[in-house]
Amino acid sequence: MIGDESYPINFISKIIDADLASGKYKSIHTRFPPEPNGYLHIGHAKSICLNFGIAQAYQGECNMRFDDTNPIKENIEFVDSIKYDVKWLGFKWSGNIHYSSDYFDQFFNYAIELINKGLAYVDELSIEDIRNYRGTLTQPGRNSPYRDRSINENLVLFQKMREGRILEGKACLRAKINMSSNFMVLRDPVLYRIKFSKHYRTGNKWCIYPMYDFSHCISDAIEGITHSLCTLEFQDNRRLYDWILENITISSHPRQYEFSRLNLEYFVMSKRKLNMLVTDQIVTGWNDPRMFTISGLRRRGYSAASIRKFCLCIGVTKQDNLVEMASLESCIRNELNEHAPRAMAVLDPLKLIIENLPIGYEKIISMANHPQKEAMGRREVPFSREVWINRADFREKDHKQYKRLILGKKVRLRNAYVIRAERVVKDIEGNITCIYCTCDINNLYQDLIDNHTIKGVIHWVSVHHGLPAQFHLYDRLFNIRNLSSIDNLLKAVNPNSLIIKKGFVEPSLLNAIAMSPYQFEREGYFCVDSVYSQPSQLVFNRIVNLRDIWKNIFN
């Protein structure tokens, strides 16, 4: 319901309310119209949640339509990935999938109708001249010398275009509107261009393809869309959207409304630019966990619910802004804090030997999977005489505020012994290779009693039982917060966006399922990587840190 938790009121819901109240529409029908020229990104998620979400909230319908009128960059791989992503996000389209390419015959017939009405003409100016004749924001354009051709001549030429008898770039079909309009889009926009390219669905049937402005409004009208929601850069194009529908014979006239795009700091929202990152191998693919594509986020360990939540939180307005990374991260962090089972992993291992325990000593320790949720059960974690701890959890010298292990002092191993560091072994370069400790043998499990004296608690993994694992720690892909005005994206790439650590995890993670998340105590939220991980070499992605680190680093 609109206005409750599942869908908040926004300026579009107010328009819909008014349309329903006035009787203009009885029910609402939206559509999500991606071009299959790349994988979907988090910006598309905003549009998906708006179009499908608002239809759901009003018990209306939302169509899934592939806006596939440009044969050069579109393909079936992209179609399949987009379908998968929309379903995975939790949405269901109305009826069958629609394709703009299914309407190619209709588009063609409407173009003929415009020619017959004297509202479209075949222009033979070069692309460059068309641009020159267009004028500027302060200067009106000039009419093309081909503008006043007879209807008959236009029909013949358009037919020739369609039959492949005119070369690419040598002619196009333009609407005859007004070369001195204040709106550049109304200065005789191109409706059709010649492209000798095979289309992934229609093959070689066509060598002329309609422009977005011509095909989109007609597709909306054919499908009986009521509210056609798009991003703000199409604000002026709305004039053309309406002009076309007013001048062809079609019974419905959807209304276009624009909302602001989602821009996320440190990332780019353009399939073209993302495609470049993939082809230039800056990332390993569209689903690289550093990419804020739906597939990248999924592989990284983001749930569909957290992405939907994020889209609800950022809202739908007409104001352009740059959304903080922290807001996306807090959506997944809040969810994981509630639901992710806890486990122990050591990312940067240092061996610790408790020398007063007998050689071969082992003990099974029962640990809660979630400190506040008994219902999430317990697991058995083997402890032994030799454990891995994190290198950063030990210091030789005392330091103010350092509450971990210090030479000569005590610390508690999580749910196990209180230990004291006695001495260290170093390699020839002076790096510590091993710490020898002692423990109070009678004091296992009695950590609570020691609580008032022992401040620090560190986590560990038994050397004998731990599973080797790689940890992929991701940082932002770019170093620049607002990339909108950056020409050379490659220069803005963060060379440290992926850091790989090699360490160990507790054995209960042997059968960890891809994408099912864990909180590795004191390290962050992680999940098994669906591509690289093997039982013999587990690979974990860090989904997000335990706390918001952005504020500390950048403010």
Closest contact distance (angstroms) between CB of 229 and Mg ion is 14
The answer to whether residue 271 is catalytic is yes
Query: Given candidates 35, 153, 335, 548, which one binds Mg ion under the rule CB under 5 A?
Result: 35
The CA distance from 242 to 253, in Å, is 8
Closest contact distance (angstroms) between CB of 262 and ligand ATP is 4
230 binds, among ligand ATP, Mg ion, none (CB under 5 to 8 A by kind): ligand ATP
Longest alpha-carbon distance in the chain: 102
The answer to whether residue 261 is catalytic is yes
Position 271 contacts ligand ATP (CB under 6 A) = yes
Q: Which is nearer to Mg ion, 99 or 383 (CB)?
A: 99
231 binds, among Mg ion, ligand ATP, none (CB under 5 to 8 A by kind): ligand ATP
For residues 461 and 345, the answer to whether their CB atoms sit within 8 Å is yes
Q: Which residues contact 350 (CB under 8 A, 6 or more apart)?
A: 388, 389, 390, 391, 393, 394, 432, 433, 434, 435
Closest contact distance (angstroms) between CB of 67 and Mg ion is 7
Position 323 contacts ligand ATP (CB under 6 A) = no
Taking residue 447's Cβ as centre, other Cβ atoms within 10 Å add up to 17
3-state secondary structure of 301: coil
Helix count and strand count (H, E) for the chain: 14, 29
Closest contact distance (angstroms) between CB of 482 and ligand ATP is 14
Q: Which is nearer to ligand ATP, 89 or 230 (CB)?
A: 230
Site string for ligand ATP, 37-76 (x = CB under 6 A): ------xx-xx-------------------x---------
Position 269 contacts ligand ATP (CB under 6 A) = yes
Spot the catalytic one: 35, 113, 335, 422.
35
The single-letter code of the amino acid at 121 is Y
Closest contact distance (angstroms) between CB of 426 and ligand ATP is 53
Q: Which is nearer to ligand ATP, 278 or 461 (CB)?
A: 278
Q: Which is nearer to ligand ATP, 76 or 449 (CB)?
A: 76
Closest contact distance (angstroms) between CB of 348 and ligand ATP is 37
- Beta strand 227-231 pairing with 255-259: parallel
Position 447 contacts Mg ion (CB under 5 A) = no
Q: Which residues contact 289 (CB under 8 A, 6 or more apart)?
A: 296, 297, 299, 300, 301, 472, 474, 529, 541
268 binds, among ligand ATP, Mg ion, none (CB under 5 to 8 A by kind): none
Position 270 contacts ligand ATP (CB under 6 A) = yes
For residues 107 and 202, the answer to whether their CB atoms sit within 8 Å is no
Q: Which is nearer to ligand ATP, 123 or 265 (CB)?
A: 265
Long-range contacts of 7-12 (CB under 8 A, 24+ apart): 7/53, 7/54, 7/56, 7/57, 7/312, 8/312, 8/315, 10/315, 10/316, 10/317, 11/259, 11/316, 11/317, 11/318, 12/50, 12/54, 12/227, 12/229, 12/257, 12/259, 12/316
3-state secondary structure of 35: coil
Spot the catalytic one: 73, 195, 261, 351.
261
503 binds, among ligand ATP, Mg ion, none (CB under 5 to 8 A by kind): none
Q: Which residues contact 487 (CB under 8 A, 6 or more apart)?
A: none
Spot the catalytic one: 193, 255, 271, 299.
271
For residues 342 and 372, the answer to whether their CB atoms sit within 8 Å is no
Closest contact distance (angstroms) between CB of 35 and Mg ion is 5
The CA distance from 474 to 61, in Å, is 38
Position 290 contacts ligand ATP (CB under 6 A) = no
Residues assigned a catalytic role: 35, 261, 271
Which residues here bind ligand ATP, judged by CB under 6 A? 33-35, 43-44, 46-47, 67, 230-231, 261-262, 269-271
